[in-house]
Amino acid sequence: MKEIEAVWRIESAKVIAGVARMVRDVGLAEELAQEVLVSALETWPEAGVPDNPGAWLMAAAKNRALDHFRRAKMLEQKHAEFALQQEVSFEPDWDDDIGDDLLRLVFTACHPVLSTEARVALTLRLLGGLTTDEIARAFLVPEPTIAQRIVRAKRTLAEARVPFEAPAAAERAERLASVLEVIYLIYNEGYSATAGAHWMRPALCDEALRLGRILAGMLPEEAEVLGLVALMEIQSSRFKARSGPSGEPIVLADQDRSRWDQLLIRRGFAALSKIQGPLGPYGLQAAIAACHARARTAAETDWKRIIALYDALAQLTGSPVVELNRAVAVGMAFGPAAGLEAVEQLSAEKTLKEYHLLHAVRGDLLAKLGRFDEARAEFNRASALTRNEAERKVLARRAAMKGV
């Protein structure tokens, strides 16, 4: 059973993509693929897993599509388009353009006509092979809510007549931005969980990184794809150092950098080095992560370089969160007073009023300046605002310390 699930997790996106090219409907393609999975679950335990399970699944799914056309009395009109007059064999049958099919599936699942939540759920379902239960548990959402999002997403795509194709050049940049946003949202939820008992959910990060690597393989010259992959590779290198024995968060400055994964760092550097031309938002974030990765300690970090990179990032995004991160770098480069001054300039930002990290950063800078009563108040405020239990415990502990 576990072996079949592992095969499905690896091959499902290719199967759905290949069938979707035939039926031009991702919802129907997934239904047919799920029927094949049921068939595999029924036959493989006795007959054994085929030598080429991916080809078996693809062939069986194509036969299901043929059956669907027959039942709908559409085979006669469709045979010229799909050239599938003969039965599909169970021999290895990977189309030369399977990469193109996957690319079409990525752009379809992340189509801007869908809400962000729907894009995330559908991407994890179609491209990640995750069940609705797995997606629901990953995001701490009831399973029926996720199931409803996926059903509505498929219906929306069908009603909007979204074609199963990669976007034309004119709209490619916008559509690619939507794809990257979905992958990064999945990654971030795994890297720093919004809510729940766990500080990280590495499985989500692994899935996002896998999707990013696939996308980079299909679009090897897209700067922002490379930038996002570089960012995720370098960030992922810190996993073993980001939490303590009880799962408590360990901030970047306190991490044991000898535990950082050097292979992932090298992979990140390699992706970053392939970017041609000016860096976009993901490339700039990857460059910032690279600055941290090159430093043996927090003190040896090139903080002035990081400030310059944040300046460039702020110009591109206009994000107050970027400005907050820049303020942290200012505090490291020029002292806590300068950092606090930069944070105070953000105090009027409405989007940061209820952002717990604004208060956590302010508390840390106040503590470094010896203003402990004010620091405790900020840590208490941050603790009350976060929905992550592990993070709340750390912030509450800092608020309770005499010297913060």
Who contacts 359 (Cβ-Cβ below 8 Å, separation ≥6)? 378, 379, 381, 382, 385
CATH class (in words) of the domain with range 2-96: mainly alpha
| pLDDT exceeds cutoff 80 at 188 | yes
pLDDT reported for residue 74: 52
The more confidently predicted of residues 96 and 53 is 53
pLDDT reported for residue 86: 40
The more confidently predicted of residues 46 and 273 is 273
Average the pLDDT over 269-294 and give the result: 97
| pLDDT exceeds cutoff 80 at 249 | yes
Quick: pLDDT tens for 312-342.
Answer: 999 999 999 999 999 999 999 999 999 999 9
The more confidently predicted of residues 275 and 197 is 275
The more confidently predicted of residues 404 and 46 is 46
Mapping DSSP to helix (H, G, I), strand (E, B) and coil, where does residue 141 land?
A: coil
Average the pLDDT over 176-198 and give the result: 92
C-alpha distance from residue 171 to each of 112, 119, 164, 167, 179 (Å)? 11, 18, 15, 6, 13
CB of 346 closer than 8 Å to CB of 324: yes
Q: The tokens of 137 are what?
A: 């548990």
What is the pTM assigned to this prediction? 0.82
pLDDT reported for residue 42: 84
Q: What distance in Å separates the CA atoms of residue 277 and residue 3, rounded to the nearest whole number?
A: 44
Residue 88's pLDDT band (cuts 50, 70, 90): very low
Q: Which residue type is seen at 388?
A: N
Using CA of residue 336, residue 242, residue 317, residue 306, what is the dihedral sign? positive
pLDDT reported for residue 187: 94
The more confidently predicted of residues 129 and 282 is 282
Q: What distance in Å separates the CA atoms of residue 47 and residue 76, rounded to the nearest whole number?
A: 34
| pLDDT exceeds cutoff 70 at 77 | no
| pLDDT exceeds cutoff 80 at 89 | no
How many angstroms separate the first and last alpha carbons of the chain?
51
Quick: pLDDT tens for 4-47.
Answer: 777 887 888 888 888 888 888 888 888 888 888 888 888 888 88
pLDDT reported for residue 169: 78
The more confidently predicted of residues 294 and 166 is 294
pLDDT reported for residue 84: 42
